[in-house]
Amino acid sequence: MVKKAAGTTRSAGKAGKKYVYLFGKNMSDGNASMKELLGGKGANLAEMAKLGLPVPAGFTITTECCVDFFKGGMKNPACLEAQVNAAVEKVEKKMGMKFGDKVNPLLLACRSGARSSMPGMMETVLNIGLSSETIPGLVKKTNNERFVFDSYRRLIMMYSDVVMEKAEGIEPASGLGIRKQLDGIMEELKKSKGYKSDTDLSVVDLKKICEDFKARVKKELGKPFPDDAVTQLWGGIGAVFKSWNGKKAVSYRRIEGIPDDWGTAVNVQSMVFGNMGDDSATGVAFTRDPATGDDKFYGEWLINAQGEDVVAGTRTPNPLNNCTRNEQNKHLLSMQEMLPATYKELFDIRNRLEKHYKDMLDIEFTIQNKVLYMLQCRVGKRTGAAALNMAVDMYNQKLIDGPTAVMRVTPTQLDELLHPILDSKAEKKAQDAGLLICKGLPAGPGGAVGALAFTSEKACEMGKKAPCILIREETNPEDVEGMRAAVGILTARGGMTSHAALVARGWGKCCVVGAADLHIDEHAKTVKVNGKTYKEGDMMSLNGSKGHVYAGSIDMIDASENPGLKKFLKLVDKYRKMGVRANADSPEDAEIARNFGAEGIGLFRTEHMFYGKNSEKPLFALRKMILSSTLEERVKAVNELFPFVKKDIMATLKAMKGLPVTVRLLDPPLHEFIPHTKEQQEELSKSIGITLKEFLVRAESLKESNPMMGHRGVRLGVTYPEVTAMQIRAILEASAELGKEGIKCIPEIMIPVTCCVQELKDQKAVIAKVAEEVKAKYNLRRLNFLVGTMIEIPRACLLAAEMAEESDFFSFGTNDLTQMTFGFSRDDIGGFLGDYLDKGILAADPFQTIDQDGVGYLIKHAVKEGRRTKKDLKVGICGEQGGEAKSVEFCFKAGLSYVSCSPFRVPVACLAAAQAAIKAAK
C-alpha cells in the first residue's frame, strides 16, 4: 500500500478530478474510445480486460494529470496521491499480493502511453517494488533467486537512467550516461567469465552486479538507489510524466505534428515475468504481416527475458511460428513448437482481437510459467503495400465495409506503392552514419541511386551503361534528354513547380530540387556540399519523397508491382464523386494515365512536343516562328510547324479513346526556346534567310526582365493571331479526321494566362473563323469542341462571372495562380522556402499544397462567380497541387468537377477524392 507521494502540492485525500482509471478483470473503468484521456496503451488495456483477455491488473493515470503536473510546476496534483493509493489497494486485491510486502510482494511497472503512439520516445520502469525488504520474500515465494536478482539489476539500471538521470535533467556526455556505464559493468563481468548471453549469468554474478550497480549509481549521481517501494513508484510516475518533455519526445512531436499540450498517461501495472525461467518468455507480434499485409500471424519471442530484451536486439529472438522464420532465426525453436498450448491461446486471442478491432494490431505479451498475459495492443504501423493488401483482404473477408477499406490506406502509402523507394532500414543506417549530406524539396517521389552526371549529354552517355543522377544548378528544356536518361534529378535551385519538378513528376521520376547547400561547378564537374567535394561518377542516393540527398549507394526496394492495386482502385472509384484527369502531353503518358484510371486529360501542354526525343524538327520550326520578324516569315514558319502539332495532338486524342482532352494553347516565355550554341544559331539564321548578326539582334529583343509575367500565354495569341489559328486548325482537323475514322473526340481548347474577358473574345473570334474553315474542308455540319480558359491570375478570379460568359469551362492553373497571389517566383522559391517553413511563417509549400486561406479563397470566389453566370460551368484544376491529397480534398469541398495531375499521381488523387467524399458523407 502506498503511503507517501513525494512532491505533491497539497495534502493528500482532497477530492478533485478523476485522474486514475483502473483496468483488469471485471474492474476496467475505461475503454478503447478513451484514448485522449487514457492514452492509446491505457485505453486498449482497459478494452482488452473488458473482452476478458488475461491482462495483469493495473491503473492508468490520465494525460490530463500529466498536463496538470506541468501546469503545477512539475508537482503532482493534490488529489492524485489518494487516488493512486486506492487504486493500488484494488490491484493488490485482484492480484492477491501486496506492494512493498515482506512476504508476498507485488511488483509494478510504470509505462508511458500518449494519445497517438510515440514508439520508444518516452520512458518505462519495470520491476518497481524490489528492495532489501521485499527481495527475501520474493525469493522464498518464487524459489528462484536468479530471477529475483535478474529483475533487481534491471530495476536499478532502468530506474537510475530514467528517474535519477534523465528526469533530473542530467545530460552526461555521449557514452557516459549511467545506463551505458552499468551496461559496461555487466559486459565486463560477462567477458571475464566468458559468457555469451545474459542468461549465462549465475545468481552470484547477478548479486555482484546489483551491488556494483548501486555503488556506481551513488558515486555517479550523488544519491543512493532508493531502497523503498513507495519512493520507487512515485519516482517512476514523475519520470514518465517528465519524459513527455524529454528531448527525443519533443523532436518526435515536431516531426509528427503532435501537439505539445496533449501530455502522456502513465500506466501502472502489476508485473508478470517473462524472466522466470525456461517456461517464461516475452514477445511482440502483429496480427498480420506488417510488411506485406499477408494474413499470417507474425511475431517474435524470447525465452526467459523481459520486454526490453526483444527491443534491445542483444539476443536473436525466436520465431513465433513457421511463417515468421527467416535467415537469422531459422535455427531457433518457435513458440508453436515449444509451447503449443500457449501458442494456441495466443493465436485465438489474435483472432478475437482482429474481429473486435477490425484492424491489424501490434501486440505485446508475456508468458510467466506457461501462463499467458497480454500487455499491450494497438493498431499496428504498416508499409504502403501492407496497408493496401490488408484493406482489400479485410474487405473481402467482410471484416470491414467499403468506406472503411478506402480510408485505411493513406495517400502517402499509396504513393509509396507506385515508385521504387530507398529501403527505409538502409536509409536510416546511412542517416546514422552521417551520409545525409543535404536536403531539398521533395519534387518527384520515390528513390534513386546512381552516379553523378553534370550535364544532360553526360547523363545520356552514362545512363546507357548504368544508373545515373543528373545534377544541375537548375534544369531547362534543353536538359530533358538527360533527365529522361537519368534515374534521378537533383538541382540546387528551383521550387516545386520549377521545370525539373514538373518534368520529373510527369514521368514519375525521383527528383529533389532547391537543395541550396549544393555548390555546383559545372566546368570542373564537381559539387561541394558542406566542405566535401563530389565529382562526376560518384554515387549518390535520393529520397524524392522527403527531399533527402545521401552520399553513396543505398539499397532500393521495388514497391510498384502490386496485384491488389487494381482491386483497391476499383473500390476507391465506387466512392469517388469528383473526376480525376491527368496532365499528359504524349500518347505514352496518355496511355499510362488511362491505365491508372484517368478520366481524361486536363492539361495537354502543346509546347512539350518541343522537348526531348524526336523534337528536333518541330523545335526548329518553332524557333523559326519565334525569330520571325515579319508576318510573311511567321506564316511560313507556322505552316512548317502545323503538321507536327496536328500529328502530336492527333496521337494523344487517339490514345484517350473518346475521353475528353484539354489542349492548352502555347504558353511559355519564348526566349526559353532560343538556341544557345553558335552552330544552332547559324543553322537557324540560314534557314530564315538572315545573318547571324541579325539573328542575335532579334534574339536579344525577345529577352524580358520578368518573363513569367511577360509575353506568354494568351498574349502570344493576341499579338500573333496566326499562331492561335495554326493550333486551332491542328486540333480541329485532328479531331475531324479521327471522327471520320469513327473515333469520337471532343477537344477542349484552353486559353492560358488570361486576365480579362476581352482576351477571350479576341481569341474566340480567331477560333470561330478557323472552325468554319475546317467544317468546310471536311464537309461537316457540326464540329464538337469546347473553349475555356485557365484561371491563373487573381484578376481572372475576381472577375470570374465575366470570364464565364465566354468560357465553356475553367481550369485553375494553381502554379501560376500561387505565384501571382503570393508574388513568389515559382522557379526561385527554393532559395527561401526553407526559412519560411523553419520559422513557421508558412505551414507548407504553397506550390505543393493549396494555400487554402489565400489562393483557396480566390478559387472559391471564382467557382461561385463563374457558376453565377453559368450554373453548370465545368471547373477543374491542373496545377501541381491537383495531385496532392489535402488539395484534392479542398477541391472536392470547393465543388470542382475534376482535378488533373501527372499520370503517376492519378491513383493518389482518386484515393484522396474518394476519402474526401466518404468524410463528407459522415
- Write out the residues near Mg ion by the rule CB under 5 A: 792, 813, 816
**How near is the Cβ of 580 to Mg ion at its closest, in Å?**
20
**How near is the Cβ of 572 to ligand PEP at its closest, in Å?**
25
List the beta strands (DSSP E) in 238-312.
264-270, 281-286, 298-303
**How near is the Cβ of 748 to ligand PEP at its closest, in Å?**
14
Positions in 533-552 near ligand PEP (CB under 6 A)? none
Q: Which residue in the block uniquely carries the three cell numbers 570542373?
A: 524
Q: Which of 62, 815, 887, 897 binds ligand PEP (CB under 6 A)?
A: 815
Q: Which is nearer to ligand PEP, 417 or 855 (CB)?
A: 855
DSSP string, 505-533: HHHT-EEEE--TT-EEETTTTEEEETTEE
What's the rounded Cα separation, in Å, for the pair 545 and 528? 23
851 touching ligand PEP, by CB under 6 A? no
Q: Which is nearer to Mg ion, 307 or 813 (CB)?
A: 813
Residue 605 contacts which entry, ligand PEP, Mg ion, none (Cβ below 5-8 A, type-dependent): ligand PEP
DSSP string, 422-462: E-HHHHHHHHHTT-EEEE-EEEE-SEEEEEEE-SHHHHHHH
- Ranked by CB distance to ligand PEP, the top (closest) residue is 813
Q: Which is nearer to ligand PEP, 444 or 447 (CB)?
A: 444
**How near is the Cβ of 595 to ligand PEP at its closest, in Å?**
22
What's the rounded Cα separation, in Å, for the pair 629 and 895? 45
List the beta strands (DSSP E) in 34-129.
58-61, 98-99, 105-106, 108-114, 124-128
493 touching ligand PEP, by CB under 6 A? no
**How near is the Cβ of 442 to ligand PEP at its closest, in Å?**
18
**How near is the Cβ of 846 to Mg ion at its closest, in Å?**
15
Q: Which residue in the block uniquely carries the three cell numbers 477560333?
A: 767
Positions in 184-243 near ligand PEP (CB under 6 A)? none
Cell matching residue 778: 471536311
Q: What string of H, E and C letters represents the secondary structure of 692-745?
A: HHHHHHHHHHHCCCCHHHCCCCHHHHHHCHHHHHHHHHHHHHHHHHHHHCCCCC
- Cα–Cα distances (Å) from 452 to 461, 463, 542, in that order, read 12, 10, 11
**How near is the Cβ of 497 to ligand PEP at its closest, in Å?**
6
Is the Cα dihedral 646, 648, 654, 659 positive or negative? Answer: negative
Contacting range for ligand PEP; rule: CB under 6 A; set: 162-170, 276-284, 771-779, 807-815: 807-815
Q: Which is nearer to ligand PEP, 320 or 787 (CB)?
A: 787
816 touching ligand PEP, by CB under 6 A? yes
- Least Cα distance to 292 among 69, 575, 564, 522 occurs for 564
Residue 640 contacts which entry, Mg ion, ligand PEP, none (Cβ below 5-8 A, type-dependent): none
Under DSSP, the state recorded for 225 is P
667 touching ligand PEP, by CB under 6 A? yes
**How near is the Cβ of 862 to Mg ion at its closest, in Å?**
15
Residue 481 contacts which entry, Mg ion, ligand PEP, none (Cβ below 5-8 A, type-dependent): none
Residue 463 contacts which entry, Mg ion, ligand PEP, none (Cβ below 5-8 A, type-dependent): none
Which of these is catalytic: 878, 891, 901, 910?
Answer: 878
At residue 235, the 3 state secondary structure works out as: helix
Give the containing element (helix H, strand E) for 499: helix 499-507
Give ∠ CA 226-231-236 in degrees, rounded to 5: 95
Is residue 608 among the annotated active site residues? no
Q: Which is nearer to Mg ion, 510 or 793 (CB)?
A: 793
663 touching ligand PEP, by CB under 6 A? no
Residue 408 contacts which entry, ligand PEP, Mg ion, none (Cβ below 5-8 A, type-dependent): none
Contacting range for ligand PEP; rule: CB under 6 A; set: 102-110, 780-788, 809-817, 845-853: 809-817
Neighbours of 821 (CB within 10 A): 20
Count Cα neighbours of 838 within 13 Å in the Cβ-side half-sphere: 4
605 touching ligand PEP, by CB under 6 A? yes
Q: Which is nearer to Mg ion, 733 or 759 (CB)?
A: 759
Q: Which of 66, 229, 386, 603 binds ligand PEP (CB under 6 A)?
A: 603
Positions in 873-892 near ligand PEP (CB under 6 A)? 878-879
Count Cα neighbours of 472 within 13 Å in the Cβ-side half-sphere: 24
- Least Cα distance to 377 among 413, 339, 346, 405 occurs for 346
Q: Which is nearer to ligand PEP, 635 or 756 (CB)?
A: 756
Residue 879 contacts which entry, ligand PEP, Mg ion, none (Cβ below 5-8 A, type-dependent): ligand PEP
Q: Which is nearer to ligand PEP, 771 or 908 (CB)?
A: 908
What's the rounded Cα separation, in Å, for the pair 550 and 463? 20
792 touching ligand PEP, by CB under 6 A? yes
Is residue 499 among the annotated active site residues? yes
Q: Which of 290, 440, 813, 876 binds ligand PEP (CB under 6 A)?
A: 813
**How near is the Cβ of 259 to ligand PEP at its closest, in Å?**
34
- Burial call 255-275: b when 16+ CB within 10 Å, e when fewer: eeebeeebbbbbbbbbbbbbb
At residue 578, the 3 state secondary structure works out as: coil
Neighbours of 223 (CB within 10 A): 11
**How near is the Cβ of 426 to ligand PEP at its closest, in Å?**
35
Contacting range for ligand PEP; rule: CB under 6 A; set: 259-267, 300-308, 613-621, 814-822: 814-822
What's the rounded Cα separation, in Å, for the pair 594 and 580? 10
Q: Which is nearer to ligand PEP, 593 or 603 (CB)?
A: 603
> 716, 670 in Cβ contact below 8 A?
yes
**How near is the Cβ of 713 to Mg ion at its closest, in Å?**
7
Q: Which is nearer to ligand PEP, 258 or 797 (CB)?
A: 797
Give the containing element (helix H, strand E) for 221: helix 203-221
Residue 603 contacts which entry, Mg ion, ligand PEP, none (Cβ below 5-8 A, type-dependent): ligand PEP
Contacting range for ligand PEP; rule: CB under 6 A; set: 149-157, 208-216, 302-310, 810-818: 810-818
Q: Which is nearer to ligand PEP, 603 or 833 (CB)?
A: 603
What's the rounded Cα separation, in Å, for the pair 473 and 454? 9
Residue 814 contacts which entry, Mg ion, ligand PEP, none (Cβ below 5-8 A, type-dependent): ligand PEP
| Total chain residues near ligand PEP (CB under 6 A) | 10
Q: Which is nearer to Mg ion, 393 or 816 (CB)?
A: 816
Cell matching residue 272: 508478470
What's the rounded Cα separation, in Å, for the pair 603 and 589? 12
Q: Which amino acid is at 327?
A: E
Residue 625 contacts which entry, Mg ion, ligand PEP, none (Cβ below 5-8 A, type-dependent): none
Contacting range for ligand PEP; rule: CB under 6 A; set: 73-81, 308-316, 514-522, 812-820: 812-820
Q: Which is nearer to ligand PEP, 205 or 667 (CB)?
A: 667
Q: What are phi and psi of 315, to 5 degrees?
A: -120, 145
Contacting range for ligand PEP; rule: CB under 6 A; set: 281-289, 777-785, 813-821, 851-859: 813-821
Cell matching residue 20: 486514475
Backbone Cα Rg of the chain: 34
By the 10 Å C-beta count (0-12 exposed, 13-18 middle, 19+ buried), 172 is classed as: middle
**How near is the Cβ of 539 to Mg ion at its closest, in Å?**
36
**How near is the Cβ of 767 to ligand PEP at its closest, in Å?**
20
Which of these is catalytic: 110, 460, 499, 891?
Answer: 499
Which residues contribute to the site for ligand PEP (CB under 6 A)? Answer: 603, 605, 667, 792, 813-816, 878-879
Residues noted as catalytic: 499, 878
